[in-house]
Amino acid sequence: MATATYLPSSFSFSSPPPPPSSRARLRRQTTRAGASAATDRPREVLSPKRRLPLREVPGDYGPPVLGAVRDRFEYFYGPGGRDGFFASRVRAHGSTVVRLNMPPGPFVARDPRVVALLDAASFPVLFDTSLVDKTDLFTGTFMPSTDLTGGYRVLSYLDPAEPSHGPLKALLFYLLSHRRQHVIPKFREVYGDLFGVVENELARVGKADFGHHNDAAAFSFLCQALLGRDPAESALQGDGPKLITKWVLFQLSPLLSLGLPKHLEDSLLHSFRLPPALVRKDYGRLADFFRDAARSVVDEGERLGIAREEAVHNILFATCFNSFGGMKILFPSLVKWLGRAGARAHGRLATEVRDAVRAHAGEVTMKALAEMPLVESAVYEALRIEPPVAMQYGRAKRDMVVESHDYGFEVREGEMLFGYQPMATKDPRVFARAEEYVPDRFLGEDGAQLLRHVVWSNGPETASPTLQDKQCAGKDFVVLIARLLVAELFLRYDSFDVQVGASALGSSVTITSLKKATF
């Protein structure tokens, strides 16, 4: 289903809609944030007896255009960075639900105004597609040109009510499952090679850039495990990660900071879109690879009623943007937090991993992984403290009341709701020591109860994605391969050290020492 390029011809910065005329009417219509029919939402949201006092959403958008530019500069370049931008609004208004402008604003996004949800109680309303519309909101207040995705609005930009959403999500479930028996052996093979390269580089120069080597390994693993093709043996050779990174930059540049002088960077990246024509040949090389390598998956798409070219571009997007992009952010983050956890945590993890593998004839299997609860908890904790997708958006389908821990807030139909996930998953009213990485946080019955507040996948960890929602189709796949990374790491090493820096996407992680396994 081809669509026209999303390039708004005008920009609207009109005043926010007036408050509802009748609080009593809205109180009768109060919708618990994220409640719907699910029973695994946070207890603060689900309780049917709570009736919190109503409060107007505090904050303002400032003057047209200038207010949005002001907020954009504070977001990218203010003290405390992105986290500081949101925390300062919470302090200023004494509220975790506030009005503000989200980047990029002029002249990329038509309307930057949002109601920001900055706690664990209000955030889950964004999962309930009976309350919020998700059309074209994957990247927020703007949508990249469909010239970057073969002329198609791919699944990430579709609302579940759209007729093509169900078949396309079913196709992704098929992509992730049809070669499931290859996932563990291919992961061990590819990431075993990665650690060999890291060891050699460490011996040669005293340090190794994990992120660089992870990019190559992630793309190779995904193509071999899911498609049965090694990209190094195709026309792509070793260029896949480089092409993907450039292509992603052209989609997300209005939301990124590359460390350039702020006025230059704001003009180049945040005020205008990078021309898709500059990456057309690179994207064409990726599309050619997937037309050939994903032929059997495309055949399944055709059986589901999806045109072959539409299937190709959706498979490409899911593999390169969603899966590769997720591994590019999550795996360095996981290594960073594990590296900082220290030798005692490393010892516990190594003991658990090796005992479980020995009990299964020296093989890493699903049964062996099931006997590694600390590994699983350590992965969930990394997803909690630094979720790979930090932001969620939804447009209110009707007047409603969204509740924080303490107040109900009136939201009008058509208003944009925005959730900053790191503040929801580090909410101190849900998580003790919320700013600390605690590897065993999710062990035991109490830990299991907290899993419903781990929402990196656009839904609670206790739920499973369906054709009717926007929860990540690869939720369980991501957790599995993250557990495999931890297991592979501690099968090989007793402990390791890292240096951490910043990057445009997540963290830059350099491994500075590896202590090989001694038991």
Greatest CA separation for the chain: 71
Report yes or no on 305 lying in a domain. yes
| pLDDT for the residue 119 | 98
Mean of the per-residue pLDDT values for the chain?
Answer: 91
Q: How far apart are CA 345 and CA 517, in angstroms?
A: 15
| pLDDT for the residue 51 | 83
Which CATH number characterizes residue 149's domain? 1.10.630.10
The token pair that represents 137 in the structure block: 């909101």
| pLDDT for the residue 478 | 98
The token pair that represents 291 in the structure block: 């037309």
Asked if pLDDT for residue 433 goes beyond 50, the answer is yes
Report yes or no on 366 lying in a domain. yes
Give yes or no for a contact between 152 and 165, defined as CB atoms under 8 angstroms apart. Answer: no
The token pair that represents 379 in the structure block: 């992965």
Report yes or no on 22 lying in a domain. no
Computed on alpha carbons and rounded to an integer, the radius of gyration of the chain in Å comes to 23
For 452-474, what is each residue's pLDDT tens digit? 999 999 999 999 999 999 999 99
| pLDDT for the residue 18 | 35
Question: DSSP label at 143?
Answer: -
- 37 — pLDDT class (breaks 50, 70, 90): very low
Q: How far apart are CA 222 and CA 462, in angstroms?
A: 25
Report yes or no on 287 lying in a domain. yes
Q: How many CB atoms lie within 10 A of CB 500?
A: 16
Q: Is 37 exposed, middle or buried (0-12, 13-18, 19+ CB in 10 A)?
A: exposed
Q: How far apart are CA 182 and CA 349, in angstroms?
A: 25
Ranges of H-type helices in 223-324? 240-252, 262-265, 280-293, 295-303, 308-316
Which residues have CB under 8 Å from 452's CB, separation 6+?
A: 40, 41, 42, 460, 461, 462
Q: How far apart are CA 381 and CA 376, in angstroms?
A: 9
Range of the domain at 247: 54-516
Q: Please tell me which residue, 7 or 499, carries the higher pLDDT value.
A: 499
Report yes or no on 47 lying in a domain. no
Give yes or no for a contact between 393 and 91, defined as CB atoms under 8 angstroms apart. Answer: no
Residue 223 annotated as lining a ligand binding site: no
Q: In the block, which residue shows the tokens 């109490």?
A: 446
Nearest to 23 by CA among 398, 404, 400, 406: 400
Ranges of H-type helices in 342-431? 343-358, 366-370, 373-385, 421-425
Q: How far apart are CA 314 and CA 226, in angstroms?
A: 14
State whether the Cα torsion 442-448-453-459 is positive or negative.
positive
Q: How far apart are CA 379 and CA 440, in angstroms?
A: 10
Nearest to 346 by CA among 362, 330, 335, 332: 335
Q: How far apart are CA 161 and CA 335, in angstroms?
A: 38
Q: Is 281 helix (H, G, I), strand (E, B) or coil?
A: helix
Report yes or no on 36 lying in a domain. no
**Burial 444-477, CB ≥16 within 10 A → b, else e:** eeebeebbbbbbbbbbbbbbebeeebbbbbbbeb
For 57-85, what is each residue's pLDDT tens digit? 999 999 999 999 999 999 999 999 999 99
Please state the rounded mean pLDDT for residues 189-206. Answer: 98
Helix or strand (DSSP H, E) at 417? strand 416-420
- 50 — pLDDT class (breaks 50, 70, 90): low
Asked if pLDDT for residue 15 goes beyond 60, the answer is no
493-502 β-sheet, strand order: 208-209, 507-516, 493-502
Report yes or no on 377 lying in a domain. yes
Nearest to 419 by CA among 454, 453, 394, 385: 394
Please state the rounded mean pLDDT for residues 35-52. Answer: 44
Q: What percent of the chain has pLDDT over 70?
A: 90
Q: How many CB atoms lie within 10 A of CB 509?
A: 24
Q: Is 114 exposed, middle or buried (0-12, 13-18, 19+ CB in 10 A)?
A: buried
Q: Is 484 helix (H, G, I), strand (E, B) or coil?
A: helix
Report yes or no on 12 lying in a domain. no
Please give the tally of structural domains in the chain: 1
Q: In the block, which residue shows the tokens 């590819």?
A: 190
Q: How far apart are CA 156 and CA 329, in angstroms?
A: 18
